[in-house]
């Protein structure tokens, strides 16, 4: 019996003293190996091709008076795979959000395309934008929309413009 114990001890000593392989040299995954949830970057949703567009320019004011209305021109390029028909159903839409990103109820609008917009061409939309009724910092969000579907929900990049309402 002592012989078996001695052999077992020698085998375990030999196994413990062998050189580790490159895979064994990797540190064991531990708490420091996992990134914290806040540190993980969120991947944007992939853009659905038929809901793609690019805002080329705009003249959104940086300041507005409460309850005032301004005319804003926004040039949008159709980067989607389909034409946008004249007078809808695809429109340029906007809505207001508060300082913390909360969407303001009933503070939105739409503008119809003045002509058909083929893929890879652009059009200027003219929008009547009404400022919120209370002074403060806001964000005006521009996005294309067709009935019930904001293009941003399909991965398109929104344009967010900070506007101070006085």
DSSP code per residue over 55-79: EEEE---SEE-TT-EEEEEEEEEE-
Q: Which domains does the chain have, with CATH numbers?
A: 49-165 (2.60.40.10)
CB 117, CB 125: distance < 8 Å: no
Confidence at residue 7, expressed as pLDDT on a 0 to 100 scale: 41
Confidence at residue 105, expressed as pLDDT on a 0 to 100 scale: 84
As a whole number, mean pLDDT of residues 141-163 equals: 94
pLDDT tens per residue across span 76-129: 999 999 999 987 899 999 999 998 889 998 789 999 999 999 999 999 999 999
Selection from 66, 124, 58, 122 nearest residue 96 by Cα: 66
pLDDT tens per residue across span 56-78: 999 999 999 999 999 999 999 99
15: enclosing H helix or E strand: helix 2-17
Confidence at residue 43, expressed as pLDDT on a 0 to 100 scale: 65
């Amino acid at each position: 019996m002592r012989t078996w114990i001695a052999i077992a001890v020698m085998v375990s000593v030999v196994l413990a003293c062998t050189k580790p392989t490159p895979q064994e040299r990797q540190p064991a995954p531990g708490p420091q190996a996992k990134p914290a949830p806040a540190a993980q970057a969120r991947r944007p949703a992939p853009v659905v091709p038929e809901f793609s567009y690019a805002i080329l320019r705009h003249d959104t004011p940086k300041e507005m008076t409460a309850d005032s209305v301004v005319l804003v021109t926004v040039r949008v390029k159709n980067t989607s795979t389909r034409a946008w028909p004249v007078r809808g159903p695809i429109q340029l839409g906007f809505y207001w959000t508060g300082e913390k990103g909360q969407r303001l109820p009933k503070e939105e609008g739409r503008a119809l395309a003045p002509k058909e917009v083929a893929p890879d061409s652009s059009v200027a939309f003219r929008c009547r934008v009404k400022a919120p009724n209370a002074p403060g910092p806001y964000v005006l969000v521009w996005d294309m929309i067709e009935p019930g579907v904001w293009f941003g929900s399909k991965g398109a990049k929104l344009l967010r413009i900070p506007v101070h309402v006085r």
